[in-house]
Amino acid sequence: MEFTLTSWPVIGAGVASLVFLLLAIRPLRRSLITRPVFAAYRKVLPQMSETERDALEAGTVWWEGELFRGKPDWQKLQSYPVPKLTAAEQSFLDHECEEACRLVDDWKVTHELYDLPHEAWRYIKDKGFLGMIIPKKYGGLEFSAYAHSQVVTKLSTRSSALSVSVMVPNSLGPAELLLHYGTEAQKDYYLPRLAKGIEVPAFALTSPWAGSDAASIPDAGVVCKGMWQGKEVIGMRVSWDKRYITLAPVCTVFGLAFHLYDPEGLLGDKKHIGITCALVPYDHPGVDTGRRHFPLNAMFMNGPTRGKDVFMPLDFIIGGPKMAGQGWRMLMECLAAGRSISLPSSNTGMAQMTARAVGGYARVRSQFKMAVGKFEGVEEALTRIGAYTYMMDAVRKMTAGAVDLGEKPSVVSAIAKYHVTERARQVVNDGMDVIGGKGICLGPSNFLGRAYQQVPVAITVEGANILTRSLIIFGQGAIRCHPYLLAEMQAAQNPDSGKGLVDFDKALFGHIGFTVKNALRALGLGLTGSHFVGVNADVAPEMKRYYQQLTRFSAAFAFLSDVSLLVLGGSVKRREKLSARLGDILAQMYLISCTLKRYEADGRKQEDAALAHWAIWDAMYKAQQAFDGVIANFPVRSIAGLVNRLIFPWGHPYVVPSDEVGHQVAKALIAPSATRERLCAECFVPQEENEPVGAIELALRATLEAEAIEAKIREAEKAGRFDANPRANVRDIAMVAAECGVITAAEYEVMRRRNHLRDIVVQVDDFPFDYNVATANKPAECRKAA
């Protein structure tokens, strides 16, 4: 048979028709294509433990799902309500929180008392700080998640011990678990007592042998019979050894997680019932609490709890006997809410305090006859401090708002925890660089040293940051957020193979179409620079390009994720570096989304635009670097090259953020302004000069008032008016200028006041040789020995 040139279109049409029929006739498609793929997929899909399944299925998918799908709906983002405080919540923030902060001196807490003062403990209990999440019908405050976040943020600008002591009872622990799973009797007894501070709660999960791998705790209980309140009952004999338990040394009741076994079948046929959560009074026979750790001198109460063969009735189980073995699911379902609020809020508070105090210090402190905050090298640090604080606060607010909407955002909470705490680390490090020697000498006048010392605490707790980045954000995000991946896995694990095949077929071909569309969109958006992307929302014109570029990055990320999952399969879980970088892309897109949302929520204030521009540009650049990191280390180099050409056909769109924009950010930190007030809105700001932050605020205002006068003195100095006067030094030159008639008496008074406050700000503390030392050699003895 001879084929002519006109025959090929007919042959091509025939082939296309056959392919179309093959794909369109589902029974045929399932038989010829899906069935062998389904069989192979079931073989390679690793078995999932019950604890892994509980962790994976816990929580909800929120905005991160839009970013994972490759085509974010910007109208959806803008339609999320902006969190607001009620009148009662605002009053609590303005009055009770202010008073709680006033009652705490962080130097005394961390260096003398090693605890909050008695009056502070009494105040936070009496005013309901420990019951913010408890409903009013039980005597609690019933605050929104946003109000909870605002309170923790404010307290964190004053003292970590204060904020953590309030934060923990309102996070994952007895109150949260009782509200969701407790019996009515447990709720009626414990919740009013927790709300009033009669009970102080803790939650004991971490073991010396199971930290990040919390499901592997060796702590165990055995169902057995024993005596309780004079009667023989079925109960549990539990042994545990826990550490790092916040509030354990002072708690009156604590939640306890352990594996429960029933070897005699007293509760049923199941021998290993599973992880169980019980509520245990601190004075229950056999309970050992009271010793403490010192987590980097933070001085919030934290310590171990232990017990050996402690008998407790089944009624101690949160939710009663029917909830035996459900503890891991309970913890996973409640984890997202606490993780969305606690550490993002406390670290944002720390960043706000750093931005306000370091910015003010940088204007008050002069070297080389110029405020240190005006040196470009210092500006670089101030820029990161300001822009990161702006973004951190945006993430905190939007994520807390999600909880108020009823979401349990497991992936978003992990993003917020990791990236807010990492940016807080950078903010505090930069702050320490700016204030120099002032920061390294501890004492009552050091406003940043303890924060610097304690930064690793937030990095470590509620999921260590290395683990969170390398295993959770993308590892959990890929399965939860992908529109088809979880459906494919569930279909493959369906014991009904026929039903599983049908479901798998639907998910598989949906997945194929999804990948192809995102590949084409990523290429198209790359070729056009995303300039023609329509943004389906009313957004600030100066921010529109970020929405377009974020749409491009979303499509590229969705495609790159699918390619990675296809090529690496189940091994992507072990490729932690690649998984971490994929997670970085998703996380940076979420941070940018929060920042864009905040800019709109704040009313598109032009004076704040530099903060948003620098923070977003920096995050875009970091996302671009993460793309590069995945592609550069992709195991199949031919695919890596193809993906790189497709995602970045004309090269990289982003470079480091602009120095000029950074200059505008730094300027906003070193002078009073509405922008500075909004950036540091939750800061507790004393007005007394014997308070380190208060002294900086007073000195900043005095410095600005004196700058014009100081300029006159500098001109006179340049003209040689003081050349013959040995007192015309940096400290005393104002006095000399007044004596020489360069400035008036009133102007000298302004300079004198400025100098007085400046000297308070720049001073560091010193102590007697044997201060706070039980036994010490005297200086003379040390010199003699030397």
* Residue type at position 600: E
In which region does residue 615 sit, left (phi positive, over 0), alpha (psi from -120 to 50) or beta (all else)?
alpha
> 691-724 burial, b if ≥16 CB within 10 A, otherwise e?
bbbbbbbbbbbbbeebeebbeebeebbeeebbee
> 521-534 burial, b if ≥16 CB within 10 A, otherwise e?
bbbebbeeebeebe
Cβ atoms 731, 713 nearer than 8 A: no
| H or E segment and range at residue 259 | strand 253-261
Whether the CA torsion 599, 604, 605, 610 is positive or negative: it is: positive
462 is catalytic: yes
Distances from the Cα of 280 to the Cαs of 169, 178, 224, 248, 313, in angstroms?
Answer: 15, 13, 18, 12, 10
* Nearest alpha-carbon partner for 569 in 152, 208, 46: 46
Cβ neighbors of 65 (< 8 A, separation 6 or more) are 480, 481, 483
CA dihedral 279, 281, 285, 291 (to 10 degrees): 110
Alpha carbon distance 711, 703 (integer Å): 12
* Nearest alpha-carbon partner for 257 in 207, 308, 213: 207
Instruction: Tell me which of 462, 691, 710, 747 is the catalytic residue.
Output: 462
Cβ-based neighbour number of residue 565 at 10 Å: 18
* HSE-up of residue 303 (Cα within 13 Å, Cβ side): 16
* Nearest alpha-carbon partner for 177 in 279, 251, 306: 279
| H or E segment and range at residue 308 | strand 302-313
What tokens appear for 582 in the block?
A: 């994929």
Could you tell me how far CA 700 lies from the centroid of its own chain?
31
Give the residue numbers marked as catalytic.
462
